[in-house]
Structure 1
Amino acid sequence: MFGHSGSSRSRVALAGALSVGLAFSLTACGGSDDSEGGSTDSSAAAIDCAPYAAFGDIKGKTVTIYTGIVTPEDTPHKESYKPFEQCTGATIKYEGDKAFETQILVRAQAGNPPDVAFVPQPGLLQQLVATGKAVEAPKETSDNVDKHFGADWKAYGTVDGKFYAAPLGANVKSLVWYSPKEFKDAGYTVPTTLDQLKALSDKMVTDGKKPWCAGISSGEATGWPLTDWMEDFMLRLSGPETYDKWVKHEIPFNGPEATAALDAVGAYLKNDQYVNGGLGDVKSIASTTFQDAGLPILEGTCSLHRQASFYAANFPKDTQIGEDGDIFAFYLPGKDETAKPVLGGGEFVLAFADRPEVKAFQTYLSSDTWANAKAKLSSGWVSANKGLDVNNLKNPIDKLSAEILLDPNSQFRFDGSDMMPAAVGSNAFWKQTTNWITGQDTKATVDNIEKAWPK
């Protein structure tokens, strides 16, 4: 009832990002598996093996992983397990599958699950726990999560009051892409409140620009970028607690809070003065692919594009991304400078076996040790692990994302449509907001989505 093809859109969105990420990671760590033995040995030597000794002698034991993270982006994952393998003598057997989200449920229900699965949505996690085949996380993993992650992250891995799954990776959706050079030349400053964002947009209009560019076309998943926009404004205008109630349908989808959020999005995206720079009119948002939507920033025909951290992969390979580069991003601000709501996504480590070697590996993946080992091997990857040294991240967008996630004031919330029932999150929400951008009014849009909610 929950986990659904919201991640089909995640796969669409991430496919390019992760392949680019691997290009970076291979450069960063020196090539293929064959050439990395030396550097991995040194990182293994540097880690403390004591936490894994508590699980006894697990030499020669095997732990199986099943995940939707496939070639080529699986390479940095596999490399990051070597310190654990060398500490313990255990072997990690990795299986990536593009059909993971449907197959993991089939396997769990059939009594043939892996030892560990990397689950990309809390809703799917709940479904897997409901099969009765998942096992609670060991105390050592739970203690790591208490130490290294916020309570918001632990809650997403908790079902019916029992803690099952530690967070793995994360992404940040609350970003606005821009040109640092344009800002410098025009004297623009990065806004730190929603009022400042509106004032900046108005200043750009005064300067003869169409400030915003957007695109929501994504095949069967067309419309998903609008759900992210609406969720970001729901968080900002009504706060995380109200957002949680809305996602769980404890308040109606068409209530005053959600109506205000969609109208706030409309103040940007249905404003002829603001959009669609370099691409067309308001309706062109529906026909522009999400991959192409931010590219006019490079041409100077738009200035601002709200899209997730993984959007970095869509710029041409020679694009310099950074504070002094061709392109960078800033945090989509809250109502005031103290409010730090963050919309994003991530994966969770769910086990279906409680053998000592599985518990040891869960504990490794929930540690700051693993987060830093993974950071050194990857680009296009971040974690909300508080023990992550941001300096281990090579990519400026990864660093920015980690700084946002690790800000003590940040209040992280998972992508709402990924947690809603499929009839809403990956169907009515996408389709009705697409109708909205092409002319349907706000009331009809939220009413139609509310009607789609399963009774």
Structure 2
Amino acid sequence: MFGQSRSPRLRGALAGTLGVGLVFGLAACGGSDDSDDDSTATSSIDCAQFSSFGDLKGKSVSVYTGIVTPEDKAYKDSYKPFEDCTGVSIKYEGDKAFETQILVRAKAGNPPDLAIVPQPGLLKQLVATGKAVEAPAEVAANVDKFWGKDWKGYATVDGKFYGAPSGASVKSLVWYSPSEFKDKGYQVPTTLDQLKELSDKIAADGGRKPWCAGISSGEATGWPITDWMEDFMLRLSGPETYDKWVNHEIPFNGPESTAALDAVGEYLKNDKYVNGGLGDVKSIATTTFQDAGLPIVDGNTCSLHRQASFYAANFPKDVKVAEDGDVFAFYLPGKDAASKPVLGGGEFNVAFADRPEVKAFQTYLSTDTWANIKAKASQGWVSANKGIDPNNLSNPIDKLAATILKDPNTVFRFDGSDQMPAAVGSNAFWKQATSWVTGQDTRTTVNNIENAWPK
């Protein structure tokens, strides 16, 4: 689980003519001198590309989102080139209660012009209100050019496409110490078998446990295990079976999901493997997910920690996060080196109005130009947009995530529990996963989650 703007968990956490025509360095729009000094605010784009939407000067577009201070500044800055070009004013509203209130507002007939929606399940609920508006042709064309079919599919309901993807997160990562690997002669694994062999070797070398883990997260305790299980469902059974599992076309207590949870247990319920510097297996349930990976650099009592790209923010500021630094991450490998399943999350720009200024803004947000402007403005933000230049990303983990997302061999799947009904994805799955790691057997766990599925 765990998207960039998902509560209660940590918060971050185009061939249209516009997509082709918007380029950096063109001084076609009169940049505003009174904006912030950062280059994002004054980036120039080809304003002529908005002419087909008519005279938009003096118009406004409201944006509603769960992305709040301080992450909101980079979004606002990335909108300024569009505002300068068109004369449209973007009214940004961040709200920690977004995921509840956006549904309330839509059902009441008072939605924003555009919302940044963090889950496909919520997007479907918004479409069901009848208030969401199908994305314009320019946006659909840009998404066909700059994203994979899987991303477009997450924003498609009953054959209609509703919104371009925005940010993305990569969850299929393992954090490690580059210096330890160099000193001990460890190699970054490229298959699941090699990952198991590496874990065995670290355990045999003594002095530290291979893995450290923590799932405590207040009301959301248990969610990190859902990510583990989803990663192994993807790797052991493949993306098509994963999709069937998420959509309950196969039962949660079937052989596939049982095998996936047992595979996770080979790591998390193995006393020889966990929980370095933190305790025994049961300590996983009481260790916060924020603290869980810190022993890699703080005490050097564990070597590996599976967590998403956002986890870089949890290390102290004096810890260098880089391939040659104190800590970095590698891709959690597939069954073989050729396959590249990736678990992740993301957001989608969904409109509730079809006025020309809204369409123009949606189109801007679906271009590689906006993605690069946003990347320059942000830390800890990545997009699956194929046109993004990794050099515009501010830190090595962002670059790693972007490289993984852009890899033509990558098969991306959205976080499964974020797509399941709330009674399962953010209730039974979390609670039963917690019971499982503290002693409950796999069969009981998957049966209890299956029984929680709405009839």
CA deviation profile, 1:238-281 (whole Å, cap 9, x unmatched): 00110000000000000000000000000000011000011111
Q: Contact conserved, 2:113 with 2:351, CA < 8 A, in 1?
A: yes
Cα distance in 1 between the residues matched to 2:166 and 2:99: 17
The aligned residue for residue 124 of structure 1 is 122
Using the aligned pairs only, state the percent identity: 78
Q: Contact conserved, 1:14 with 1:310, CA < 8 A, in 2?
A: no
The aligned residue for residue 211 of structure 2 is 212
CA deviation profile, 1:152-185 (whole Å, cap 9, x unmatched): 0000010001000110000010000000000000
- Does residue 277 of structure 1 match 2:276? yes
Which residues of 2 match residues 379-398 of structure 1 at below 5 A? 379-398=379-398
Which residues of 2 match residues 285-434 of structure 1 at below 5 A? 285-298=284-297, 299-434=299-434
Cα distance in 1 between the residues matched to 2:394 and 2:246: 35
| Inter-CA distance 211–164: structure 2 relative to 1 (3 Å threshold) | same
The aligned residue for residue 17 of structure 2 is none
TM-score when normalising by structure 2 = 0.93
Read off the aligned partner of 1:353 and give its amino acid letter: A
Cα distance in 2 between the residues matched to 1:431 and 1:56: 53
SS at match of 1:326: coil
Q: Contact conserved, 2:234 with 2:341, CA < 8 A, in 1?
A: yes
Shift of 1:10: 3.2
Cα distance in 2 between the residues matched to 1:41 and 1:259: 50
Which residues of 2 match residues 9-408 of structure 1 at below 5 A? 10-15=6-11, 17=12, 36-37=36-37, 39-40=39-40, 42-44=42-44, 47-208=45-206, 209-298=208-297, 299-408=299-408
Cα distance in 1 between the residues matched to 2:107 and 2:218: 30
Read off the aligned partner of 1:424 and give its amino acid letter: V
How many residues are aligned here? 434
Cα distance in 2 between the residues matched to 1:198 and 1:293: 20
| Inter-CA distance 321–368: structure 2 relative to 1 (3 Å threshold) | same
Shift of 1:40: 4.3
Shift of 1:37: 4.2
Shift of 1:89: 1.1
Cα distance in 2 between the residues matched to 1:296 and 1:149: 37
Q: Contact conserved, 2:371 with 2:383, CA < 8 A, in 1?
A: yes
| Inter-CA distance 8–332: structure 2 relative to 1 (3 Å threshold) | closer
| Inter-CA distance 330–436: structure 2 relative to 1 (3 Å threshold) | same
Cα distance in 1 between the residues matched to 2:38 and 2:450: 57
SS at match of 1:354: coil
Cα distance in 1 between the residues matched to 2:81 and 2:359: 16
SS at match of 1:14: coil
Read off the aligned partner of 1:387 and give its amino acid letter: G
Cα distance in 1 between the residues matched to 2:41 and 2:99: 34
SS at match of 1:424: helix
| Inter-CA distance 440–367: structure 2 relative to 1 (3 Å threshold) | same
CA deviation profile, 1:291-343 (whole Å, cap 9, x unmatched): 10000001210000000111111111111000000010000000001111110
Cα distance in 2 between the residues matched to 1:321 and 1:94: 32
SS at match of 2:6: helix
Shift of 1:13: 4.0
Read off the aligned partner of 2:325 and give its amino acid letter: G
Q: Contact conserved, 1:8 with 1:221, CA < 8 A, in 2?
A: no
CA deviation profile, 1:383-416 (whole Å, cap 9, x unmatched): 0000000100011100000001110111111111
Question: RMSD between aligned alpha carbons?
Answer: 1.5
Cα distance in 1 between the residues matched to 2:356 and 2:100: 28
| Inter-CA distance 408–281: structure 2 relative to 1 (3 Å threshold) | same
The aligned residue for residue 25 of structure 2 is none
Structure 2 stretches lacking a partner, 5+ long: 14-32
Cα distance in 2 between the residues matched to 1:135 and 1:242: 31
SS at match of 2:412: strand
Shift of 1:11: 3.5
Q: Contact conserved, 1:13 with 1:310, CA < 8 A, in 2?
A: no
